[in-house]
Structure 1
Amino acid sequence: MLRALAIHSGRQATAHGDSVQSYGELADRTARLITLLRDNGLTPGAHALLVSPNTPDALLAFHAVPLAGGVVVPLNPAFSDEALRFLAGHADPVVALVDTACLARVGGRLAELGIPVIEIGNASGLSARLGHLFPAPLELPEALDEDSPISINYTSGTTSDPKGVMVTHRNAYINLSNLLYHLNLRPGSVYLHALPLAHGNGWGSAWAVTAAGGTHVMLDGDGTPELKRALLTRGVTHLFASPAILTPLADSAAPLTLPHPVRLLLAGASPPPHLLEQLQAQGFRVLHGYGLTETNAVMTVTEPALEGGDARILSRQGHPMMFGGQVRVVLEDGQQVPADGFTPGEIVIRSNQVMKGYYKNRAATRRALDGGWLHTGDLAVVHPDGRVDILDRAGDLLTIGGQSVSSAQIEAVLYRHPSVREAVVVAGPHPVEGEPDQTCAVAFVTLHPGAGVRGDELRSFCAPHLPDYALPSRVHLVSELPKTASGKVLKHVLRGQATVR
């Protein structure tokens, strides 16, 4: 980061609406924010809370807090008010950077805790405030330990068992190196921030794009129209996103054709092959990745150049990235599964990207890092070519009629229908009276705009492609699926709905 701030002073660093900022300006504002943070009590190793949507000021915090020796703790504004207030206390911050639009949600709690607040965002007047401060030297903090945290990233807004992932400087460095290599980030690259920076530090983009001397483009607003507009008008060359963000772009009723190829790192959930085919046809050069917040985001990848663009193979989670480490799929006794594409096991990971642990949650840390490997809870198979292919979360594998069934395999069949936009399968009670202990597959489906297919028609469509016990007994058409702040489907909500329907 220091290298980029020093040698790219004339290059464009950020773009947001009509506002642009050079690397020289970013360096100056970073130096002055370091002074402001220290004046407000940030000392080496102390925590700085960040509550903000994606803005140049939020990105500035990701630069200034580590250089001030602090640990950045970004909270997703999509978390509930209750979660934001709880985590604001759990994170033990000594200072908070809060966007003006979020201040009413957490300001009262921070005042109760006696935490000084630095207001940021377009309407905050931060630039004027920084202009009156003396810039601090841009240099590494004294006695920086590469195994000390650079950030704490909460995996969700839950207040019952908070998991604040401690990402170390070394974790971030290895992640950054992988992104530079596999995404070919370079000076002049233009990266579109479609992911919240609060989600795994934007999968590492907060620092990787700066290291490359690229331009950070912030969306002018939320939603698919703004995303499309940016892709068509901002000269975007790189994008990281989940299938939930990109599925609307694949709407056949409103086709998108990119003006030039865009390198896309797609992760967060297993994409159906037809979505990959549509994205490739639109001009995206898709790399399909896999990882968790606990691995400092993405650490495996399947690259189109290695399999000729075959969407079926590209939908698999691939191999560890260049500096990714070790990924195994193991049985309950710890033995690796055979590479037969059939035998399921749990993904375990040993890597320089694996977290230091969960903040103030030793029990969860011990469970997750048992035996020196991160136990992901993701079930997968390994294909003969060595590629990992995720089936389900451990708790999402269905047991129907005494048979184990992957919900992902049923969903893959539903996705073959051209009307299906999203499909999620969960277990529900058997519809036949007198069999209260039996379960069946229940599907929840959203359709592309204008599609008129019925649930029973989708069920008939699936019948030739699934064994009888795996055929969904019910297919519910819904307008939207319940999702987390990061876009993952809340399957426990759907299980509740499957029980009462």
Structure 2
Amino acid sequence: MKTPLTPLEAVLRTFAVHGERPALQEGDLRLTYREFAEATARLMALLGGSLHAGGHALLIAPNTACALLAFHAVPLCGGVIVPLNPAFSDEALNFLTRHADPQVAFVDAAHLPRVQGTLTELGIPVLVIGDGSDFLGRLSEFAPAPLTLPAGLDEDAPISVNYTSGTTSDPKGVMLTHRNAAINSMDMLYHLNLRPSSVYLHALPLTHGNGWGCAWTVTVAGAAHVILRDPADLRFGLSAEAQITHLCASPAILGPLADHPFGMALPKPVRVLIGGTSPRSSMIAALQAKGFEVLHGYGLIETSAVLTITDLSEELLPPDPYSAPKVLARQGHPMVYGGQIEVVSEDGAGVPHDGQTPGEIVIRSNVVMKGYYKNRAATRRAIKDGWLHTGDLAVIHEGGRLEILDREGDLLKIGGQAISSVQIEAVLYRHPSVREAVVVAAHDDTGDLPVAFVTLHAGAQVQGREILSFCTPHLPDYALPRRVQLVADLPKTASGKVLKHVLRAKANETADALRRERVAGEELGVRG
């Protein structure tokens, strides 16, 4: 016998088995799973008149109880949830609203004015959620719908469409299927070790890869969801009263906790999965010192978010106390159901496991997306011969452990030598004053030149030339940054990734200005 793989089957089990357990906490709001199930059933009834099987339900909201409710009710109605990060620009939100073809939209009251005109023009019914909406109160007007799996559920049908960015030039709406989400939940359950007694803090936006699948996985475990509306409030969300046991977050979200001036210690250990960008080993060590049990993962929205894991409980480490953060800074091995991950050279051959030879990461796995919504060309570029080509560069260490280097376009080629910006950044991070470091290439008459953009820890008093002198013994001459530019903040996407193209533009503007000054000086010398 074969039945569809979907996280919804386990969600319904939790509703039936764990009814009196805590399900959700947001501020003063507390719901048991019995109450959460009833609210889900009432929302399903509300959606019955506007959302058809396979129809798209747009969600534009920060983390809220109502947003989490939509993640459950929409697919149980047979619909597809389409979460858009409210941190996207107005232009992007309106463009993607059109591209997503929604039949209904959940929009947080604070963000409704940004997309109201487009939704009205398209004739899309809007369900206003968030502060002041009393959305849960209005649900009481509806008789609960039956809590069952949608009729004729196909495990290969999308459960969500997740846009990888707010770009309007080449929209990539990742179609993740019920099967993708079910296997992602199995991986996360095992590696996070989520249990009914767990308390999970949603520090990561639900709109980012469905909170790396945890919108459903936490419910599958029968664990409690604790909603964190603003990631900047993370230190308060980890208070002793909250009793948090688990969370997932990017280095950008966790950075303030790891910052050395911040003297927080956890009331009890918290298991944290870090991903999105590579954390520096010093950040990992600082988090461990505060009581975090650190896991490090890698993946893409196209792989249902997290795909690989480094977990010290799976590692045989030497007695060196400094080895653990260094190992955790790598991306490790595939999760238990992660599938096949290879690092290949340009001719498609696997690279040696020497920790030095770079190649592109390609993936064949049950968690790889169905494709990009209404973008067949992008799907063909990404999936070739049954393998997802990520564009990410990595090396493989002895024993098969993965370590990310860069995106293909971020590899620096200087003086005929190829070097990863990550390798230069790792040296910059050794300086005790450096909080964040990003290296990009500027261009001049001689080719690529590495330029570093650096933010400092609070109170640090150091100049760029001092940081450059610090790097000199640790890097070959060709890899030394030609400039170290100190900045207050780095430009980042809605999900916390650094916008390297913005930094490249700044680096090239400065390079052009310096070149003009040099040329003007040479001309002045000739005329003199």
TM-score by length of 1: 0.97
Task: For residue 134 of structure 1, report the CA deviation from its aligned partner.
Answer: 1.0
Q: Which residue of 2 is the match for residue 455 of structure 1?
A: 464
User: What are the residue-to-residue correspondences of 1:173-212 with 2, within 5 Å?
Assistant: 173-212=182-221
CA contact (8 A) 1:285 1:304 kept: no
Q: Which residue of 2 is the match for residue 389 of structure 1?
A: 403
Q: Which residue of 1 is the match for residue 236 of structure 2?
A: 229
SS class of match (2:238): helix
SS class of match (1:82): helix
Amino acid at match of 1:4: T
User: What are the residue-to-residue correspondences of 1:396-415 with 2, within 5 Å?
Assistant: 396-415=410-429
Task: For residue 438 of structure 1, report the CA deviation from its aligned partner.
Answer: 2.0
User: What are the residue-to-residue correspondences of 1:17-36 with 2, within 5 Å?
Assistant: 17-36=27-46
Q: Which residue of 2 is the match for residue 318 of structure 1?
A: 332
CA contact (8 A) 1:54 1:193 kept: yes
Amino acid at match of 1:377: G
CA contact (8 A) 1:47 1:72 kept: yes
Task: For residue 17 of structure 1, report the CA deviation from its aligned partner.
Answer: 1.0
| Residue 94 (structure 2) pairs with residue 85 (structure 1) | yes
CA contact (8 A) 2:66 2:136 kept: no
The whole-number CA distance in structure 1 between the counterparts of 2:137 and 2:28 is: 18
The whole-number CA distance in structure 2 between the counterparts of 1:88 and 1:317 is: 34
Pick aligned residue for 2:443 from 401, 413, 429: 429
| Residue 293 (structure 2) pairs with residue 281 (structure 1) | no
CA contact (8 A) 1:84 1:106 kept: yes
Pick aligned residue for 1:298 from 306, 323, 327: 306
Q: Which residue of 2 is the match for residue 108 of structure 1?
A: 117
SS class of match (2:287): helix
Amino acid at match of 1:404: A
CA contact (8 A) 2:427 2:474 kept: yes
Task: For residue 118 of structure 1, report the CA deviation from its aligned partner.
Answer: 1.1
Range with greater deviation from structure 2 (276-285 or 407-416): 276-285
Q: Deviations over 1:121-169 (max 9, x none)?
A: 2311212221111110000000000000000000000000000000000
CA contact (8 A) 1:17 1:220 kept: no
Q: Deviations over 1:453-495 (max 9, x none)?
A: 1100000000000000000010000000000000000000000
Task: For residue 222 of structure 1, report the CA deviation from its aligned partner.
Answer: 4.5
Q: Deviations over 1:12-33 (max 9, x none)?
A: 1111111111111110000010
Amino acid at match of 1:464: P
User: What are the residue-to-residue correspondences of 1:12-411 with 2, within 5 Å?
Assistant: 12-39=22-49, 41-219=50-228, 221-223=230-232, 226-233=233-240, 234-307=242-315, 308=317, 310-411=324-425
Task: For residue 119 of structure 1, report the CA deviation from its aligned partner.
Answer: 1.2
Q: Which residue of 2 is the match for residue 6 of structure 1?
A: 16
Task: For residue 375 of structure 1, report the CA deviation from its aligned partner.
Answer: 0.2
The whole-number CA distance in structure 1 between the counterparts of 2:361 and 2:345 is: 9
The whole-number CA distance in structure 2 between the counterparts of 1:194 and 1:106 is: 25
The whole-number CA distance in structure 2 between the counterparts of 1:484 and 1:321 is: 27
The whole-number CA distance in structure 2 between the counterparts of 1:143 and 1:334 is: 40
The whole-number CA distance in structure 1 between the counterparts of 2:404 and 2:337 is: 21
CA contact (8 A) 1:413 1:465 kept: yes
Q: Deviations over 1:62-105 (max 9, x none)?
A: 00000000000000000001111110110001111111111111
Range with greater deviation from structure 2 (122-131 or 484-493): 122-131
The whole-number CA distance in structure 1 between the counterparts of 2:408 and 2:464 is: 28
CA contact (8 A) 2:201 2:227 kept: yes
Q: Deviations over 1:34-89 (max 9, x none)?
A: 011112x2011010101111000000000000000000000000000111111011
Aligned identity (percent) is 65
SS class of match (2:38): helix
CA contact (8 A) 2:199 2:224 kept: yes
Distance 1:32 1:164, change over 3 A: same
SS class of match (2:111): helix
List runs of 5+ in structure 1 lacking aligned partners. 431-435
Amino acid at match of 2:239: L
Task: For residue 500 of structure 1, report the CA deviation from its aligned partner.
Answer: 1.2
The whole-number CA distance in structure 2 between the counterparts of 1:401 and 1:142 is: 62
Q: Which residue of 2 is the match for residue 473 of structure 1?
A: 482
Q: Deviations over 1:363-389 (max 9, x none)?
A: 000010011100000000100111011
Task: For residue 333 of structure 1, report the CA deviation from its aligned partner.
Answer: 1.2
CA contact (8 A) 1:250 1:256 kept: no
The whole-number CA distance in structure 1 between the counterparts of 2:302 and 2:153 is: 22
Range with greater deviation from structure 2 (477-486 or 228-237): 228-237
CA contact (8 A) 1:445 1:476 kept: yes
Amino acid at match of 2:284: L
- Which portions of structure 1, spanning 4 or more consecutive aligned residues, are displaced by more than 6 angstroms? none
Amino acid at match of 2:212: W
Answer with 1 or 2: which has the greater Rg. 2
Task: For residue 230 of structure 1, report the CA deviation from its aligned partner.
Answer: 1.2
The whole-number CA distance in structure 1 between the counterparts of 2:231 and 2:198 is: 23
CA contact (8 A) 1:71 1:151 kept: yes
Q: Deviations over 1:337-390 (max 9, x none)?
A: 010111110000000000000000000000100111000000001001110111
Pick aligned residue for 2:502 from 484, 487, 493: 493
The whole-number CA distance in structure 2 between the counterparts of 1:322 and 1:128 is: 42
Range with greater deviation from structure 2 (299-308 or 196-205): 299-308
CA contact (8 A) 1:49 1:88 kept: yes
Amino acid at match of 1:36: L
Amino acid at match of 1:48: A
The whole-number CA distance in structure 2 between the counterparts of 1:303 and 1:481 is: 29
The whole-number CA distance in structure 2 between the counterparts of 1:128 and 1:424 is: 47
Range with greater deviation from structure 2 (302-311 or 110-119): 302-311
The whole-number CA distance in structure 2 between the counterparts of 1:169 and 1:240 is: 22
Q: Which residue of 2 is the match for residue 433 of structure 1?
A: none
TM-score by length of 2: 0.92
Task: For residue 221 of structure 1, report the CA deviation from its aligned partner.
Answer: 3.8
CA contact (8 A) 1:165 1:294 kept: yes
The whole-number CA distance in structure 1 between the counterparts of 2:446 and 2:472 is: 24
Task: For residue 429 of structure 1, report the CA deviation from its aligned partner.
Answer: 2.9
